[in-house]
Chain A
Amino acid sequence: MAQAATSLDTFPKYLLLNADRFRDRPAMRHKDHGIWQSWTWAQQLDEVRAFAVGLEAIGFARGDRVAVVGANRPRLYWTFVAVQSLGGVPVPVYADAVAEEMAYVLDHAGVRFAVVQDQEQVDKIQSFKDKIPALSEVIYDEPRGLLDYPPEGLHSFAAVQAKGRAVLAAEPERARRWEEGIRKGSGDDVSVMLYTSGTTGRSKGVMIKAAGAVQAASDTVAFDRITEHDSVLAYLPLAWVGDHYLNYAQGYVAGFCMNCPESPQTVPQDLREIAPSFYFAPPRVFEGLLTSVTIRMEDAGRFKKWMFRHFIEVARNHGEAILEKRPVPLSGRLAYALGNVLLYAPLRNVLGMSNIRVAYTAGEAIGGDLFSFFRSLGINLKQLYGQTEAFLYVTAQQDGQVRADTVGPATPNVDIRISESGEVLFRSPGQFSGYYKEDEKTAEVLTPDGFIKTGDAGFFDKDGQLKIIDRAKDVGRLNDGSLFAPKYIENMLKFFPNIKEAVAFGNDRDFATAFINIDLQAVGDWAERNNIAYASYQELAGHPQVYEMIARNVDETNRRLSKEPMMAGAQIKRFLILHKELDADDGELTRTQKVRRAFVDERYRELIAAFYDGSTEKYVETEVTYEDGRKGKIRATVRIADARVHGSPSPRAVREAAE
């Protein structure tokens, strides 16, 4: 029993340990009034203790669940550990959730307390508080605008802490009793309940147990050799597993300093000031950074432009090799060293990436060029694959073994298996103990032997790295049996700047085909430079030279596909450039700009049929909705082009060629 009481299986236990071993090292920083305020681990312990005891004073009891809503602020992070220290369960909720969604989560989780950032969140909660009888106390961080609210059930964070401090002063024994409570805490308790973002139906409460969470965090801290000397900028949504894991869980286990930005808009400046050593961002953030760099270079003088181009070329040739410590000729090393002084180091500084030792991206496919750009600047950008149900990590790339098209091998202590149907299954130390109050759904995602179904299709590449190709339900087969993963093909196409959107077809067909949407900006620029006049998207899309250009992109895609044994069968044989842009207003895309496959299939049935009946062009009329809601029709004769197929794809194609 003594063993269990002292083993480190909860985050509050790490708080006590860190306050002892890293007493005077910074634990938390927050930019406030233009100055970085910081708290050492000892001070952080003091703040958390005061809040925890204050919570008890206003009626908190063991097992209570506490909603945490707001931006990345120290007091909200302290709430996590304070609640855990009392045997309660924090439930972070997305701050931008509308009242209705928030009400659902708070009601479903049965929270009794809510700790929120500001007036906006208080207003939201008060709008539905009557309907959730369990919810009794709301605690806010920023008092602005809340001073004249009725005080029943409403407390300021500072007031709760003051209550706690008063109790601690009056009862000298109290602090010791609180610490004893932490030491008695069990790793079997639920550490946190993370609600999924709910893109597929109602969001579900993913329960993560303390011991597993600590174990998972320890594994990845060791994997990337993270220490108390590292630092992070906590800017990801508080309620997302990534933030809770990368900043909170790893932070407590490794003892590093978490930095909270001044406001969501100041993140780029704060990033630059803090220059964290560990960084995570989804691919679209890196894309945005590259775009802003490119645009600003367009405005630069001729010499600077030349210098930029020259040294980016040097970096492209040698940067990744130097990062991975592969052999590089001396001349390359010298050129890179000069480039580092003149360009890469200042650029890294501007991006706030001067001190990055480990950076990750995940969530969607990242373009090879984009990925290489950052790596060639000397930023150790890697990929990981994870899920809320795994408490983040399933796979991660090791330093030096990094590729843009894979997500790495299983992280330590994680087992991965590919099911018969090609779905990725895993078992991990941090894996969830179930969806809260939804045993049926829990059973649905578990295999009989305890593996979790990810819903993603993937396979292991030659070098043992996992490759995610698509959502499992979208993956199909061509008639000859070869694998057809539409999103994989589409992503490959979309990495070309000229292609904005693509939709691939081929399930239960003889060969793969694709609709292409050109990127009006990129192709329009090209047309302007080449004196090609056009009046509309439709005209540009149908231009023979544009077809030629896209055909080259499709050809390149096929060449890349042909090199992958699993994918070579599904090369694009025919394609067309769609006469209109796919648009959410017409129902072709979701509001988050994802293709609605079933709808597109139905709407463009005639064009898809034309792919397979051998026509070279097809006349279509398509109804469109204008911005003001009026409807109209676009008429066009769409040309269907053939693409070259590489290597030796399906046996059937070979036979055809022989005939």
Chain B
Amino acid sequence: MNAHAAGSQFTAADDDGVAKGDTLLEVKNVSLSFGGVKAITNISFDVKKGEIRAIIGPNGAGKTSMLNVINGFYTPQEGTITFRGQQRRAMKPHHAVRQGIARTFQNVALFKGMTTLDNIMAGRSVHMKSNIGWQMLWHGPALAEEIEHREKVEEIIDFLEIEHIRRTPVGKLPYGLQKRVELGRALAMEPSLLLLDEPMAGMNLEEKEDMSRFIIDVNQQRGTTIALIEHDMGVVMDLSDRVVVLDYGKKIADGAPDEVKNDQSVIDAYLGVAH
């Protein structure tokens, strides 16, 4: 019943009480370690409402750990995270979802045996209000709700241009389309902050171009704030408004793509320096 109360707190991107350009998420002095291994050391940055924020860095820089901290999977030992004005330290991922944070994964994590439609519908479950009794009966409020959610899902299907695979089990789909379905499921949660963990990994050029366009469209048309991790520098520099660079768990640069690109410490981190 707890979840029910939390569910009513949910607010979509356009009415989350944060004005465009204001700070949506603030990460302050966060450190995370696993035993003796320091994954993240004293990192601070913020994400402003309505922007596309990239987190980049060489392998093992702590990018995915950072994402996991933001969406509550890891609890940092030090530091605070403020999302929509609420400070927190420890939380569970489903609380993050109810607060309006959705994510996709580096390795596609879909229900392989279910259709595209059902996978995206699953993303709506956070918004389902009718109780399990009605849902089992499949009548009254449950049916009305189902129709309402289906409409939202159809909008997403239309948005991502995946009408032709609506009824296809996702396990049968090529990788690029699976990534798109995963984005669809995250969008179905109507998040105010969308975390994308390497949305372009393993894609060919054409799929990357498509995905870039969808990310921009999500950002511009739905007003969703996006934080993404990506290895393809071309994509990052074109897509994002601001970039934060991590290396060995430390922040080494933060700013507009052009500034970051010319930052000596960033160049060193990527290309290595003579010792």
Contact = CB atoms under 8 A, between A and B. Distances in A.
Given A144-B217, A144-B221, A145-B217, A33 B164 contact: no
B221 A34 contact: no
A174 B150 CA distance: 41
A144 B150 CA distance: 21
Contacts of B66: none
24 contacts: A31-B163, A32-B158, A33-B151, A33-B155, A33-B157, A33-B158, A34-B154, A34-B163, A34-B166, A35-B154, A144-B159, A144-B217, A144-B221, A145-B220, A147-B220, A147-B221, A262-B163, A263-B161, A263-B163, A263-B164, A265-B163, A265-B164, A266-B163, A269-B167
Given A32-B158, A144-B217, A269-B167, 13 more contacts: A31-B163, A33-B157, A34-B154, A34-B166, A144-B221, A145-B217, A145-B221, A147-B221, A148-B220, A263-B161, A263-B163, A263-B164, A266-B164
B154 A269 contact: no
Contacts of B157: 33-34
A202 B163 CA distance: 36
A209 B161 CA distance: 38
A144 B160 CA distance: 11
B187 to A, nearest CB: 15
Contacts of B154: 33-35
Interface string B200-230: 0000000000000000010011000000000
Sort A-B residue pairs by CB-CB distance and give the 8 closest, nearest first.
A265-B164, A33-B154, A266-B164, A262-B163, A34-B154, A263-B163, A266-B163, A33-B158
Contacts of A266: 163-164
Nearest to A147: B221
B148 to A, nearest CB: 13
A33 B217 CA distance: 18
Interface in A32-58: 32-35
Contacts of B163: 31, 34, 262-263, 265-266
Contacts of B159: 144
Interface in B158-191: 158-159, 161, 163-164, 166-167
A446 B168 CA distance: 53
B217 A269 contact: no
Which of A31, A34, A145, A269 has the largest number of chain B CB atoms within 10 A?
A34
A196 B154 CA distance: 38
Nearest to B150: A34
Nearest to B155: A33
Interface residues of B, number: 15
Interface of A: 31-35, 144-145, 147-148, 262-263, 265-266, 269
B213 to A, nearest CB: 8
B50 to A, nearest CB: 13
A263 B166 CA distance: 12
A269 B165 CA distance: 10
Contacts of A145: 217, 220-221
Nearest to A31: B163
Nearest to B158: A33
Nearest to B165: A265
Contacts of B158: 32-33
Nearest to A261: B163
Interface in B63-121: none
Contacts of A35: 154
A543 to B, nearest CB: 37
Nearest to B216: A145
A577 to B, nearest CB: 36
A144 B156 CA distance: 13
Interface string B3-19: 00000000000000000
A412 B133 CA distance: 66
Contacts of B150: 34
A385 to B, nearest CB: 33
A145 B221 CA distance: 8
B47 to A, nearest CB: 22
B205 to A, nearest CB: 17
Contacts of A33: 151, 154-155, 157-158
A274 to B, nearest CB: 15
B90 to A, nearest CB: 41
A59 B161 CA distance: 34
Which of B157, B158, B167 has the largest number of chain A CB atoms within 10 A?
B158
Contacts of B164: 262-263, 265-266, 269
Interface in B115-167: 150-151, 154-155, 157-159, 161, 163-164, 166-167
Contacts of A269: 164, 167
B164 to A, nearest CB: 4
B211 to A, nearest CB: 15
B52 to A, nearest CB: 16
A269 B150 CA distance: 19
Which of B151, B157, B164, B167 has the largest number of chain A CB atoms within 10 A?
B164
Contacts of A265: 163-164
Nearest to A148: B220
A148 B220 CA distance: 9
B212 to A, nearest CB: 13
B17 to A, nearest CB: 24
Contacts of A34: 150, 154, 157, 163, 166
Nearest to A32: B158
A545 to B, nearest CB: 39
Contacts of A262: 163-164
Nearest to B161: A263
A34 B158 CA distance: 9
A526 B67 CA distance: 55
A34 B150 CA distance: 10
A321 B96 CA distance: 68
A262 B157 CA distance: 11
A251 B45 CA distance: 62
Contacts of B167: 269
Nearest to A35: B154
A266 B164 CA distance: 5
A163 to B, nearest CB: 24
Nearest to A33: B154
Contacts of B166: 34
A393 to B, nearest CB: 32
B184 to A, nearest CB: 14
Nearest to A34: B154
A265 B158 CA distance: 13
A33 B161 CA distance: 11
B146 to A, nearest CB: 13
A148 B161 CA distance: 21
Nearest to A262: B163
A614 to B, nearest CB: 53
A143 to B, nearest CB: 9
A263 B159 CA distance: 12
Contacts of A263: 161, 163-164
A205 B159 CA distance: 36
A87 B151 CA distance: 40
A263 to B, nearest CB: 5
A145 B222 CA distance: 11
Contacts of B155: 33
A119 to B, nearest CB: 10
Contacts of A32: 158
A265 B167 CA distance: 13
A148 B164 CA distance: 29
A145 B158 CA distance: 13
A148 B163 CA distance: 26
A272 to B, nearest CB: 11
